[in-house]
Structure 1
Amino acid sequence: MSVQDVERVGFVQEWTEWHRQKEAGLAGPHGFLAITGLHWLSEVPTRFEDAPGAWSSTAEGVVVELDGDEEVAVDGQVVHGRHDFGVLAERAGVYVGWGDAVIEVAKRGGHDIVRPRHPGNALRTAFTGTPAYEPDPRWVLSGRFLPYDTPRPVTVGAAVEGLEHVYDSPGQVEFRLDGAVHRLTAFNGHTPGALMVLFTDKTSGVTTYAANRSLQISAPDAEGTVTIDFNRATNLPCAYTDLATCPLPPAENRLPVAIETGEKIPLERGGRS
């Protein structure tokens, strides 16, 4: 086995472990595949089949009113009767225990929502994994981060019709592919300094999910250099369930090339291995 072959085997093994961990989070007992409902709250207290209590959105924030023996756990404390969650920040959420389920209380696109997560949900229990292209080192590209002087608010659409999300963009990521230069508007990633891009490409709607894919990029180095590993392009939750409010890519992030790597259309949406 050549040095190149050894390096490729290691590359594939690392990708496989990364993908296993990503899938484990998605299909965990209270991951996105466990969601049974997406309930939009109003000022009128409303009960839902998959959650206890009557829920409402008030000027003072989200409120739940529990009847009789109904109880939930908030921050490890058992709660009966009325509980005020207060005003939630955009994209923030609180997770409330109810038996073996978790009730997500959150704000998305300026609206308060309740999203129960039940481990026995059929979408979760039937999940067998997400098809993906074979990882290939040729899709690991070097690029550079082009920061803005100050972060810019960017409004994007959402998987839910009529909903919008606003994200601060710290700048763009530039890279070269097949002789052409491309730029993607970036948002903040999961860790300090890290970046995240949402994009579509020529495979979208053909072999990959039509609406979007997401890619995490480690923080730029001192010279602004970034590593863009398209092998790690992943589906967002909306690729699996209609009970998600995922953002769509900004218009400038629709790549005119085929990124034939990363995750494909989920089997749950008619994809193939």
Structure 2
Amino acid sequence: MSVPTATPAFTEEWEEWHRGKDARLAAEHGFLAITGLHWLSAEPQRVPGAPGTWSTGPDGVTVELDEGEELVVGGATVRGRHAFGAIPERGGVDAVWGGAVIEVARRGGHDVVRPRHPDHPLRVAFEGTPAYAPDPRWVVTGRYVPFAEPRPTTVGASVEGLRHVYDAPGRIAFRLDGRELSLTAFNGHAPGTFTVLFTDATSGVTTYAANRDLRVDAPGPDGTVVLDFNRATNLPCAYTDFATCPLPPAENRLPVAIEAGERIPHERRA
């Protein structure tokens, strides 16, 4: 695998990637549009920014809509009582309510509702995420070392008391500034890829304190991977308190300063 050099193309490619990442974050119904995080129980409750009365139980989430209220779920209009059914962990259903989307999801073993309104001030005022200038020195070649069996790994969350469990298929070993380091990897969104949650010596100083995320492409035939720390990103919890982001496992707290990737959002500095 080749390592990028300090060319205009390298910088332009990074800038295009960063613009795309911020655009997804600030999309009409993206994370910056979330107006609240509401934990459901068997007791029916009203949810600010959403219609109806919400509850959950052994059969999953249910909403009781008032007369004249309706949601669009999976393209179908629903009125009165609607059962969303059991939602898998880290899964979710989006219900459309006028110009808003009502997210119904399951996180850390709990059912939640998160209304997403495009006019939410956090989204409207968003001016982009500050980041270090891209630098090829932070593109590091590593080696993927698979575990004999995937290891269920429990990590904390940005919400106090919440826990997430991920299967860790292996670790990534690499050398940086003369130090031998490694990171536990979780499965990525695409088959064969990885996602790495980490902190480092910049965390809480110039980068977000709780976590950053790095996506890693599938390894080559010899296990070689490329860690491009220029693309270390903030998770949604860096911008909003209505996210349930996982924290890195303890072994992913790097003792070096990774002065690359995204920095503390303007919203948190304010």
- TM range, smaller chain: over 0.9
Q: Which amino acid aligns with 1:209?
A: Y
Contact 1:217 1:226 in 2 (8 A): yes
1:191 matched residue in structure 2:
190
Letter in 1 for 2:250: A
1:34-88 residue CA offsets vs partner (Å, 9 max, x unmatched): 0001000000111112001111011110001101011000001000011111111
> Paired residue for 2:72?
73
1:6 is displaced (CA, Å) by: 8.4
The equivalent of 1:211 in structure 2 is 210
What is the root-mean-square deviation of aligned Cα atoms in Å? 1.1
Distance (Å, rounded) in 2 between the aligned partners of 1:256 and 1:181: 11
Superposition deviation, residue 7 in structure 1: 5.0
Q: Give the CA deviation at 1:201.
A: 0.3
Asked whether the 8 Å contact 2:6–2:135 carries over to 1, the reply is no
1:158: Cα distance to partner? 0.2
Structure 1 residue 207 displacement after superposition: 0.2
Q: Give the match for residue 223 of structure 2.
A: 224
Partner of 1:166: 165
Aligned length: 267
Corresponding residue for residue 47 of structure 2 = 48
Map 1:33-112; keep pairs closer than 5 Å. 33-112=32-111
CA contact (8 A) 1:173 1:186 kept: yes
Aligned counterparts, 1:114-133, within 5 A: 114-133=113-132
Measured after TM superposition, the shift of residue 183 of structure 1 is 0.7
Give the partner amino acid of 2:25.
L
Which sections of structure 1, spanning at least 5 residues, go unmatched?
none
Q: TM-score, normalised by structure 1?
A: 0.96
Q: Distance in 2 between matches of 1:91 and 1:7?
A: 38
- What is the TM-score with the length of structure 2 in the denominator? 0.97
Residue 8 of structure 1: CA displacement?
1.7
Q: Which residue of 1 aligns with 2:11?
A: 12
Name 1:147's counterpart in structure 2. 146
Asked if structure 2 preserves the Cα contact closer than 8 Å seen for 1:8 and 1:137, the reply is: no
Letter of the 1:73 counterpart: V
Closer, same or farther in 2 for the Cα pair 1:204/1:6, shift >3 Å?
closer
How far apart, CA to CA, are the structure 1 residues paired with 2:44 and 2:102?
16
Moved over 4 A (4+): none
Partner of 2:179: 180
Displacement of 1:149: 1.4
How far, CA to CA, are the matches of 1:251 and 1:44 in structure 2?
37
Work out the CA distance in 1 between the residues paired with 2:74 and 2:66.
Answer: 20
For residues 173-196 of structure 1, give each alpha carbon's deviation from its aligned partner in whole angstroms, at most 9, with x where no partner exists.
111001111110000111110000
CA displacement 1:81-127 (0-9 Å, x = unmatched): 11111111100000110001001100000000000100000000000
What is the match of residue 201 of structure 2? Answer: 202
Structure 2 gap segments, 5+ residues each: none
- Counterpart of 1:236 in structure 2 is 235
CA distance in structure 2 between the partners assigned to 1:217 and 1:199 by the alignment: 13
Residues 40 and 55 of structure 2 are in contact (CA less than 8 Å); yes or no, is this contact kept in structure 1? yes
Q: Is the 8 A contact 1:157 1:165 kept in 2?
A: yes
Q: What secondary structure is seen at the aligned counterpart in 2 of 1:15?
A: helix
